[in-house]
A = this chain, B = another copy of it.
Amino acid sequence: MYQWQMIATDEEFEFVESDMPEIDKEEVLVEVAGCGLCHTDLSFWHYGVQTKHELPLTLGHEISGRVVKGPEHLLQKNVIIPAVLPCGECDLCKTGRSNICQNQIMPGNDFHGGFASHVKVPFKYLCPVPDEVLKKYSLAQLAVVADAISTPYQVIEKSELTSGDFAIVVGVGGIGIYGALIAKIKGAKVLAIDISDDKLSNAKEYGIDATINSSVLDFKEIKTRIRELAKELGTSKYGWKIFEFSGTKSGQELAFGLLTFASTLSIVGFTLDKLEVRLSNLMAFDAKLIGTWGCQPELYPEVVDLIKSDQLHIDHFVELFPMSKINEVIKDTLAHKFTKRSVLIPDFNSTN
């Protein structure tokens, strides 16, 4: 099999050829169809976050593919590999918190991931892809289910967003855009906030109710505009469901500042930066902050159903690249050159 492996921070991924791995009785070998490039990969490759498995390591945890080795009933199945693979046995798993299972393993972090021709994984939580969905999208495109779509899906579930709520999505990049779209599907009035006009017009085009470019307004102006929008959209002055996807200090400051009575702020984007906040505002507002890690694999079929039923369209927000371009794509991602999620498609036979 072939892999693109991370050797060291900021160094070019290295092409590695090796024998097909042996699998044990709870594993399968998946032939990769596509693997998305995520901010978490950048954290490992550029921002100094350590992978759990030592380097060199094949990164990539947003994987779709076809089972080519394993138990009979799984062979040739098209699957999505959840980014978080819990044990299914511990107290957290048994109480609906499998996404934060402390025995969980993650491709491209605990073991060799998806920037490869093949990946060896436990099959317990694989999410099957119905043939019907493959009439709409390629299996490679569907890789984004494994993180970019499932993570916001779980966040929105946890936020208890209901029809008619006002959803404010800060950051509509590769993950946030799906947050905005899923909130819309759930019947919310949705406002997207970003610093990129391109991303905002993308959001608008796909049905998001309103947009604000936060780079051209100060905080007071933004808050005033949001209050006006809540009124224009016929939604409530209170109980806003705010989602922070940007993973930046300024995004988190803005999102925290927007808290009002009975609101819920979900923290999805990650940054090591701290910020200064008055935590007691949560008390005065009877408000809530929810952090969320990945997505329970148990919810993946619901996500696939959204796509199957044509409620969620994914092609506009995914861009496909041959995997041999991995070194360019990661640098361009770091340089904020893309407005869409990049998915890398193995092209080992043709180029290596």
Interface residue ranges of A279-297 to B (CB < 8 Å): 279-293
Q: Given A92-B239, A102-B261, A286-B100, are A279 and B293 neighbors across the interface (CB < 8 Å)?
A: no
Which of B100, B102, B252, B283 touches A279 (beta carbons < 8 Å)? Answer: B252
Return the contact of A283 from the options B238, B267, B285 (Cβ within 8 A).
Answer: B267
A236 in the interface (beta carbon within 8 A): yes
The smallest beta-carbon distance between A241 and chain B, in angstroms, is 13
Stretch of A117-125, A186-194, A270-278, A322-330 at the chain-chain interface:
A270-278
Chain B residues within 8 Å of A262, by CB? 92, 97, 100
Chain copies in the assembled complex: 2
CB within 8 Å for A283 and B261 given contacts A91-B236, A102-B238, A274-B277: no
- A contact residues, range: 35 or more
Q: From B92, B274, B284, give the contact of A278 (CB < 8 A).
A: B274
In Å, the complex CA distance between A92 and B263 comes to 11
When C-beta atoms are compared, the residue in chain B nearest to A261 turns out to be: B100
Q: Check A279 against B280 for contact (C-beta < 8 Å).
A: no
A268 within 8 A of B: yes
| B-chain residues with CB within 8 Å of residue A270 when the two chains form the complex | 280, 283-284
Q: How far is the CA of A79 from the CA of B261 in the complex (A)?
A: 29
The answer to whether B288 and A289 have CB atoms under 8 Å apart is yes
A278 CA to B282 CA in the complex, in Å?
A: 16
Whole-angstrom distance between the Cβ of A170 and the nearest chain B Cβ: 12
User: Does A13 sit within 8 A of B, measured CB to CB?
Assistant: no
Q: Which of B91, B99, B278, B279 contacts A286 (CB 8 A)?
A: B99
24 contacts between A and B (CB under 8 A): A91-B236, A91-B239, A92-B238, A95-B239, A97-B262, A99-B286, A100-B286, A247-B280, A252-B279, A252-B280, A267-B282, A269-B283, A270-B284, A274-B278, A276-B276, A277-B279, A279-B291, A280-B291, A283-B291, A284-B291, A286-B291, A288-B288, A289-B289, A289-B290
